[in-house]
Amino acid sequence: ALVAVDPQPSVVTRVANLPLVSSTYDLVSSAYVSTKDQYPYLKSVCEMAEKGVKTMTSVAVTGALPIIQKLEPQIAVANTYACKGLDRIEEKLPILNQPTAQENTCFLTLELDLFLKDSGHSLTF
């Protein structure tokens, strides 16, 4: 009987799933959504930009797919080396496996508020 072997996860997936990275993404995403909700003009500008990025990404992926498929063996080798490098980085930097501290959330909010005040706006929760 054949035993299915799970392919190695991509280094991009592994990095995205690191607690520090994923919790920081959640913080930034939350601040972004909150800011859009508080500033209707900014929200409309951001939504137009988001739509443009989605369209360009779709076109780029469609155009690059034949090249990516052709380079799949080389990409797999590069991914293996990158995952090994990530293993070493995780060993040397255990903070990567800890979520973002609450203090950093406050710092991010303060930085965003100061930026908006410099622009003549304010951030209120």
17-40 confidence digits (pLDDT tens): 999 889 888 888 988 998 899 888
Residue type, position 98, single letter? Q
Cα atoms found within 13 Å of the Cα of residue 15, Cβ hemisphere only: 11
Look at residue 123 and tell me whether its pLDDT is greater than 90.
Answer: no
* pTM for the structure as a whole: 0.65
* pLDDT on residue 113: 64
Domain ranges within the chain, ordered by starting residue: 11-118
90: CB partners within 8 A, 6+ apart:
18, 96, 97
Dist. CA 24–CA 100, nearest whole Å: 6
43 burial type by CB count under 10 A (0-12 exposed, 13-18 middle, 19+ buried):
middle
